[in-house]
Amino acid sequence: MTDLFWPGDERAGDLFTEHAWLAAMVAVEQAWADALAGAGVAPAAADLSGLVGAEDLPALARAAEGGGNPVIALVGLLRERADGPAAPWVHRGLTSQDVVDTALVLCARDTLAQVRADLRHQVAALSGLARAHRGTVMAGRTLTQHAVPTTFGLRAAGWLGGVLDAADALDRPRLPVQIGGAAGTRSAVVDLARASGAADPVAAATDLVAGAARRLGLAAAAPWHTSRGTVTALGDALVACTDAWGRVAADVATLSRPEIAEVAEPAAEGRGGSSAMPHKRNPVLSVLVRRAALAAPPLASTLHLAAALAVDERPDGAWHAEWATLRTLARRTATAASQTRELLAGLRVDADRMAATAEGAREGLTAEARAITAFTGADTRAEPVGGALPLGAADALIDTALARADRFLDTDPPETDT
């Protein structure tokens, strides 16, 4: 998939494309059919594999307008094309929202997995930068002005902490199925279980939901038709990532300015040029990552607004606003994850330039240390006057960040079905 309006979108691959969503909806229908058949409620489970594909997308998209969602037309196609007596059982007991919501969760799970993989590479790259440059002195800057001495290793450790926070946020969303029937009561499922002779139809209905969830690798859950915390949690986790990467990109873009020139993006054929100025080497990766960081929060706010306006047992428009919003946020986050991974893996650090800038600003950078000396009456600096610049607890802070990173990298990615 490509998008001229969002350069780099192809990095997200098939995540949250129309085809991926269609496949996810069919997977939900298949899991439910299998659950019904496995419990003896349906005589057999229709094999839905290969019944619909990319060639059906235009017709399904057109038909979706009639019912406000694509499931109605999809179910019609599946029942029409399925073989045998199992065909009428397709979708039986479900409602459109069950299929849409569960399919969105499946698409989100794939996105989280890809972003999580990129995060692990980012953590490894940042750990390497923090270790390699723990002694690379640079001017610390606050409110755009020189402040006190720091090291690029500590700057990288700060980026590392943000990326690790994002990784923690990515692991928080729960990934449940949504199976509640027409109005969240599961009445049709209970009726089907009763008709099949179940001694406890309600318990049987609960078991059916659990069976479908297990087949999809998702968590069984009570219906969440108008409790949209699942969706907002996904949005918040994705924005936590773009926030962290935006900070990195903003720093790289600033430090790569010609008048600073302390870092540079990795070089690549055809990247960073200008249509008018042949001398330009623009920090394009940083620019595009910052773009994602700026655009992501409004998308998450749309999800929260939709959650706040979820009424009755199925929202009239608020639910519908979520689909494209979550898709856009997910693809843009996956794209930014890949771009940030590449940026950090090839980041070039000019330690000599950093040292020269810090030395040239020595008078200002040591002003705080002189003020402390004047206040206490004793020279509190470990370094002699005119020697190495004071760096406080920089080494210890780097060690703390690296220890956290090592624990993260030594831990297997979490399971996604709870």
User: 75's torsion region: left (phi>0), alpha (psi -120 to 50) or beta?
Assistant: alpha
CA–CA distances in Å: residue 94 to residues 42, 43, 100, 209: 14, 17, 11, 10
Those residues with Cβ within 8 angstroms of residue 245's Cβ, 6 or more apart along the chain or in another chain? 163, 166, 289, 292, 293, 336, 337, 340
The residues pairing with 349 across neighbouring beta strands, listed in sequence order, are 263
Phi and psi at 271, nearest 5°, equal -100, 140
Select from 156, 351, 153, 348 the least CA-distant residue to 265: 348
Select from 237, 261, 232 the least CA-distant residue to 138: 261
> Of 11, 109, 228, 314, which is the active-site residue?
314
Task: Give the DSSP per-residue string, 82-98.
Answer: S-STTGGGTTTT--HHH
Q: Residue type at 239?
A: V
Other Cβ atoms closer than 10 A to 406:
12
Phi and psi at 142, nearest 5°, equal -130, 135
Phi and psi at 255, nearest 5°, equal -70, -15
Phi and psi at 278, nearest 5°, equal -65, -15
> Of 62, 274, 370, 407, which is the active-site residue?
274
| Token representation of residue 67 | 């019912």
SS3 308: helix
Query: Is residue 314 among the annotated active site residues?
Result: yes
Strand stretches in 366-418, DSSP E: none
Q: C-alpha angle with apex 284: 137 to 165, nearest 5 degrees?
A: 60
Do 71 and 96 touch, CB atoms closer than 8 A? yes
Q: For residue 219, what is the DSSP state?
A: B
> How buried is residue 121: exposed, middle or buried, by Cβ count under 10 Å (0-12/13-18/19+)?
middle
Query: Is residue 81 among the annotated active site residues?
Result: no
- Residues with catalytic annotation? 274, 314
